């Protein structure tokens, strides 16, 4: 069973010169949480945000912070991002050698723990960890950049992930990230997702409130 639907705009597509204003606007627009993309230039070919910026974002919004770590050796950084104010910390199964330990570390810090899968990684990689996580994140683009096109095969993976979660009675969120826009969000929702990351699909539009309202309308019907 899906949870209450949540829209999590990714600030990777925000105007960083005016980040404080952007956060205010997105909160007023009805965003449910802020998705923060952390990239290290190793796990993905881009470098973005560190704990220092997460700490600044924490001060600028009251929304929960959904921190997506696209980094190698996530264990080394869980503590720093937790202390910076993350509410959810998601790590990639491809990057964490001792995933169970990493998930425990996140929980010991009092945070919600998520695991994420690249488009080429099979769901089976999450089978032994699923019962311990609060969130499963299916990537619908290859991580590294915003503004990419949604990979259609993600839909079948989302359906299968929904079946796996329901089978074990998990209440974990099923989050989808990459290429989600007004024109495909309904399809992603009917596949079984209940948390939707959108970067360019929100920040690339003129009126954030109108976009988020319309997204919510499309996933509730």
**Contacting positions for ligand DX5 (CB under 6 A):** 10, 12-13, 35, 37, 68, 141, 143-148, 177-180, 197-201
Query: Residues 37, 66, 134, 194: which is the catalytic one?
Result: 37
Which residue number has the CB closest to Zn ion?
A: 68
Closest CA to 7 of 66, 81, 55, 74: 66
**Residue 70 region by backbone torsions, left for phi larger than 0, else alpha for psi between -120 and 50, else beta:** beta
* CB of 204 vs Zn ion, minimal distance in Å: 15
Q: Which residues in 138-177 contact Zn ion (CB under 5 A)?
A: 177
* CB of 198 vs Zn ion, minimal distance in Å: 10
Q: Residue 134 or 177: which CB sits closer to Zn ion?
A: 177
Containing 25, the helix (H) or strand (E) segment is: helix 19-28
Q: Residue 114 or 179: which CB sits closer to ligand DX5?
A: 179
- Choose, by CB under 5 A, the member of 25, 68, 92, 111 that binds Zn ion: 68
Q: CB–CB of 174/195 below 8 Å?
A: yes
Known catalytic residue at 37: yes
Give the three-class secondary structure for 179: coil
Counted residue by residue, the chain has a size of 221
Known catalytic residue at 177: yes
Containing 79, the helix (H) or strand (E) segment is: helix 75-84
Question: Does 37 engage in binding with Zn ion (CB under 5 A)?
Answer: yes
Give the three-class secondary structure for 38: strand
Instruction: Enumerate binding residues for Zn ion (CB under 5 A).
Output: 37, 68, 177
Cite the active site residues. Answer: 37, 177
């Amino acid at each position: 069973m899906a949870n209450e639907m949540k829209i999590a705009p990714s600030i990777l597509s925000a105007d960083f010169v005016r980040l404080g204003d952007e956060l205010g606007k997105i909160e007023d627009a009805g965003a449910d949480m802020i998705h923060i993309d952390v990239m290290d230039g190793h796990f993905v070919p881009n470098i973005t945000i560190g704990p220092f910026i997460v700490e600044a974002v924490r001060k600028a919004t009251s929304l929960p912070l959904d921190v997506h770590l696209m980094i190698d050796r996530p264990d080394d950084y869980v503590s720093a991002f937790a202390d910076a104010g993350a509410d959810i910390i998601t790590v990639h199964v491809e990057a964490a050698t001792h995933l169970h330990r990493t998930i425990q570390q996140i929980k010991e810090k009092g945070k919600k723990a998520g695991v994420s899968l690249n488009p080429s990684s099979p769901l089976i990689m999450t089978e032994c960890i699923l019962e311990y996580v609060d969130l499963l994140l299916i990537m619908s683009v290859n991580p590294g950049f915003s503004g990419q096109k949604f990979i259609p095969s993600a839909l079948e993976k989302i359906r299968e992930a929904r079946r796996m979660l329901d089978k074990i009675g998990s209440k974990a969120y099923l989050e989808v990230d990459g290429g989600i826009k007004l024109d495909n969000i309904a399809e992603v929702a009917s596949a079984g997702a209940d948390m939707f990351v959108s970067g360019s699909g929100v920040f690339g539009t003129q009126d954030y409130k109108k976009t988020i309202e319309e997204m919510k309308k499309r996933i509730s019907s």
